[in-house]
Amino acid sequence: MTTAKLQYQSGFGNYFRSEDSRCPGALPEKQNNPQVCPYGLYAEQLSGTAFTAPREHNQRTWFYRIRPSVIHKPFKPYTHKYVTYDVKDVPPNPNQLRWMPFPLPAKSDKTDFVDGLRTVCCAGDPKSRNGCAVYIYTCNTSMSENRAFYNSDGDLLIVPQLGSLEVFTEFGRMTVSPNEICVIQQGMRFSVNIKEESRGYVLEVYDNHFILPNLGPIGANGLANPQDFWAPTAWYEEREIEFEIINKFQGALFTATQKYSPFDVVAWHGNYVPYRYDLSNFVVINTVSVDHCDPSIFTVLTCPSQKPGTAIADFVIFPPRWGVAEHTFRPPYYHRNCMSEFMGLIHGNYEAKEGGFLPGGASLHSMGTPHGPDGPAFEKASRADLKPERVADGTMAFMFESSLSLAVTAYGNKECKVLDEKYYECWQSLKSYFNPNKREVNI
């Protein structure tokens, strides 16, 4: 599938143009909304920010499409018991939580990307546009040729763990494989096809859009670099067919039908686009002397809140890298955080939890809940020869970190049936090595 390099930051010089090669000159030459568009197309704008947002933050895209998206039947409720932000009847749980790999649907249960979404935890309210939610998706069938989805509540950051996704959007097509991510922003219609059973994670944010974090003293290069983000190029289909459009609105799902494919955009230009990123392109910054860098140094994308330096949600990864710190306990230190930390594992073995933290599973360490390496990881790191060594080869763990207190849903607590009730036991072997008569202690 054809993709185009995405110069990520919006603003002057970062405006993108794409037209299907089958219709050269489909983009109007002088204005966004001409009286008559080339090829008899309709002009339609998709806004990602308020019209009056400052120019450097203003995001929108103009579509030139065969039919405007307004042509559809009225929306009706769509039953989906597992997509929810309503947790009022679920008691809070401050414990360390770990899930074994989330189950895939039975082969006889044909489940696509939308029907396979499960809300694991969430905070806030999409109606007031403040909050976020974490989902697992599992699917064994494509959304076929006549089904699409869009989210009126916020942006979706999709992290495939098992199986590649063929993502059809109004902007064009892109393939997203494990160890890659894609972001489908608010209001963008898309469909997901698969060739094998698939599983992954989704982070939804209501408040804002994801951006690259500021680099500060790091300088111009490092972490996720703008040149490594890709956006689709224009591709259209003209099919008159009964098509289902599923919409997530105020936390609930709705469905409407129309008599044509929504993927009929012949050309587009703007700076509000879906995009893909390969996690192997992340440029790791780490210590080369002593101590342990905060995990924020591994931030790929952030959705900022109104409070400076505090995110509604960060997307953080722990990729293969060198560990070279001297006189330092190298794994993540024990800590109690003022943030919520939801971790997932795409592949490999996470160095601080090599036992029960498995690909396709997850963990949640809530605000103030202590966590850190398990007993074997602590002892191994305390006795290690502190020479340069490779860390996390063949592994990609990630974290959705939020300043909001995430509440676990009924599905995450019981209905998923993979919550590890014995997770707490991984720390029970930690013992006291304290000796008031001996400063230097061997572990």
Sign for the pseudo-dihedral over CA of 31, 34, 36, 41: positive
Burial classification of residue 292, based on how many CB atoms lie within 10 Å of its CB (0-12 exposed, 13-18 middle, 19 or more buried): middle
Residues 263 and 325 in one domain: no
For this structure, is 80 an active site residue?
no
Residue 18 parent element (H or E): strand 16-19
Residues 292 and 272 in one domain: no
Which candidate, 160, 179, 183, places its Cα nearest to that of 171? Answer: 183
Give CA 324 to chain center in angstroms.
30
Angle at 156 between CA 227 and CA 268, to 5 degrees: 60
For this structure, is 365 an active site residue?
yes
Residues 339 and 267 in one domain: no
What is the dihedral angle through the alpha carbons of 129, 130, 136, 142, rounded to the nearest 10 degrees?
10
Burial classification of residue 137, based on how many CB atoms lie within 10 Å of its CB (0-12 exposed, 13-18 middle, 19 or more buried): buried
Tokens of 301: 């994308």
Q: Which residues pair with 371 in a beta bridge?
A: 335
For this structure, is 209 an active site residue?
no
Catalytic residue among 44, 209, 269, 371: 371
Catalytic residue among 44, 180, 204, 341: 341
Count CB-CB contacts under 10 A for residue 207.
Answer: 21
Catalytic residue among 19, 209, 269, 365: 365
Residue type, 411: Y
Q: How far apart are CA 243 and CA 235, in angstroms?
A: 18
Q: How far apart are CA 156 and CA 330, in angstroms?
A: 33
- Residue 436 placed within a domain: no
Residue 1 parent element (H or E): none
Catalytic residue among 145, 238, 240, 335: 335
pLDDT score, position 375: 87
CA distances from 54 to 51, 127, 426 (A): 9, 24, 50
> Domain containing 226 — which CATH number?
2.60.120.10
Residues 230 and 378 in one domain: no
pLDDT score, position 350: 84
Indicate the pairing of strand 147-151 with strand 243-249. Answer: parallel
Cβ-contact 346, 396 below 8 angstroms:
yes
For this structure, is 57 an active site residue?
no
Residues 314 and 166 in one domain: no
Tokens of 207: 């408040």
Residue 380 parent element (H or E): helix 375-383
Longest CA–CA span in the chain (Å) reads: 88
pLDDT score, position 425: 93
Cβ-contact 199, 237 below 8 angstroms:
no
pLDDT score, position 144: 83
Q: How many domains are there within the chain?
A: 2
pLDDT score, position 3: 54
* Domain, as residue range, for 362: 283-423
Indicate the pairing of strand 117-125 with strand 130-139. Answer: antiparallel
- Residue 437 placed within a domain: no
Ordered mean pLDDT values, 10 residues apiece, the chain (443 residues): 44 74 94 95 97 92 98 97 91 96 95 98 95 98 94 98 98 97 98 97 96 93 93 95 97 97 97 96 94 92 94 97 93 93 95 81 97 90 93 96 97 95 93 94 87
pLDDT score, position 205: 98
pLDDT score, position 143: 96
Give CA 169 to chain center in angstroms.
17
Q: How far apart are CA 423 and CA 363, in angstroms?
A: 9
Residues 219 and 324 in one domain: no
Q: Which residues pair with 45 in a beta bridge?
A: 62
- Residue 113 placed within a domain: yes
Catalytic residue among 57, 72, 80, 292: 292
Residues 46 and 158 in one domain: yes
